[in-house]
Chains A and B, each alone.
Chain A
Amino acid sequence: GAVVSQHPSRVICKSGTSVKIECRSLDFQATTMFWYRQFPKQSLMLMATSNEGSKATYEQGVEKDKFLINHASLTLSTLTVTSAHPEDSSFYICSATAPGLGTDTQYFGPGTRLTVL
């Protein structure tokens, strides 16, 4: 149980285009989802916290107009990287949690590798 999926697993796009990444909780309802970014050989950095039906809370330094997050249902959150540039190339990972699973436990998706040319 507690499986989180992401789609796509890899995406390559041209500079200036937008990319949407989906995060789904497959067998549970996720009241809260988190988006992280990870650069090579570095740790995970929290970008934003997303609660179903409300606006995402962004971490300091993360542009909310560039990284659009939508959490429209209890099983799906999307991250859209708008007007992507090469410096946005990174590994994007989502996680999900729900009270029924244990309030502090986060389950992570497999990640999405974004490469911006």
Chain B
Amino acid sequence: GESVGLHLPTLSVQEGDNSIINCAYSNSASDYFIWYKQESGKGPQFIIDIRSNMDKRQGQRVTVLLNKTVKHLSLQIAATQPGDSAVYFCAENTAGYALNFGKGTSLLVTP
């Protein structure tokens, strides 16, 4: 079936560098995408979202880019900090409110 997947299962960056986490989706009907951050033993925390009528959205230190032509989503984190270390999931929403989660990327920020 259709699924959401990630290109990189793990990502290690130095503190202060920018991080880019990528996600590919296959359902062209998806119209809403969300990035979540999950720390060990905790529930997912909303980071930023974007709708299919947009190609870029910025938050505080984070930017989400959506390329519908190639069905690609990315999360950019500026000036990555140790507190950013976590697993990041992209999720898509197509029918109703159910979310389809990607496999996750583990981000490790080294000093």
Binding site for B on A (CB under 8 A): 4, 6, 32, 34, 42-46, 49, 91, 93, 95, 97, 103-111, 113
CB–CB A44/B44 < 8 A: yes
- Which of B34, B43, B49, B102 touches A43 (beta carbons < 8 Å)? B102
A32 to B98, CA, bound (A): 10
Contact A105:B101 (CB < 8 A) given known A44-B89, A111-B41, A113-B41: no
- Which of A32, A42, A43 touches B97 (beta carbons < 8 Å)? A32
Count of chain B residues with a beta carbon within 8 Å of a chain A beta carbon: 21
A49 to B100, CA, bound (A): 13
User: B45 on the interface (CB 8 Å rule)?
Assistant: yes
CB–CB B46/A111 < 8 A: no
Contact A43:B104 (CB < 8 A) given known A32-B97, A34-B98: yes
CB–CB B98/A44 < 8 A: no
Nearest chain A residue, comparing its CB with the CB of B90: A43
Question: What is the CB-to-nearest-CB distance from A101 to chain B, in angstroms, rounded to a whole number?
Answer: 11
Contact A43:B98 (CB < 8 A) given known A108-B44, A108-B45, A113-B41: no
A42 to B102, CA, bound (A): 9
CB–CB A111/B99 < 8 A: no
CB–CB B103/A43 < 8 A: yes
